[in-house]
Amino acid sequence: MFSKSCQYALQAILYITLHSKNGSTVGLKEIAASQKIPIHFLSKILQNLVKHKILASTKGPNGGFVLNKSPNRLKLIKIVEITDGLDIFDLCGIGLKVCSDDTPCPIHFEYKVVKNKTKELLNTKTVSELCEDVEKGQSIVTYK
């Protein structure tokens, strides 16, 4: 459902939040290596998040990225909106241009339920909540 850019943005935000305690920055190379994301692709994604004031960045040898918003208030839907847009929740599950409630594709109504549940999840979950799960060992963010 989400583009690679969106998936990488979510992974990077979680990684940065977990590793930038007390305002310290996390470097681009560190994020790219830990998440196995191509560095040039990640750079563009993170700069877009800086542009939208989700992240702050500093340059130089000790430069990097830090969350610019409180993780308690940053909902996952905001990251999705910035990277993919919210119209992804209006798209047909099999890619038809004319799919709607009036002219449904074969999976329209079932897929609509999935899209609505996914949107609801993203609207309610914060970055902080996901990081808490990682810190408790209930989920992962970094590859081993």
Q: Residue 27: which CATH number?
A: 1.10.10.10
Answer with the residue of higher pLDDT: 124 or 1. 124
What is the total count of domains within the chain? 2
d(CA 78, CA 54): 9
Give me the mean pLDDT over the 117-130 stretch.
97
pLDDT score for 110? 97
| Res. 68: pLDDT tops 70 | yes
Q: What is the DSSP string of 14-26?
A: HHHHHH-GGG--B
Q: Using the 8-state DSSP alphabet, how is residue 93 labeled? A: T
102 pLDDT higher than 70: yes
Q: Round to whole Å and give the CA distance between 67 and 18.
A: 10
Mean pLDDT value of segment 64-87: 97
In a domain, 75, yes or no: no
Is the confidence at residue 144, as pLDDT, over 60? Answer: no
The more confidently predicted of residues 23 and 111 is: 111
Segment 121-129 mean pLDDT: 97
Using an 8 Å Cβ cutoff, are 80 and 122 in contact? yes
Domain that holds residue 9: 4-70+126-135
In this predicted structure, what is the pLDDT of residue 16? 96
Between 21-25, 89-93, 97-101, 128-132, the lowest mean confidence (pLDDT) is in 21-25
* pLDDT greater than 70 at residue 10: yes
21 and 65 co-located in one domain: yes
Confidence of residue 116 (pLDDT cuts 50, 70, 90): very high
Q: Both 91 and 60 in a single domain?
A: no
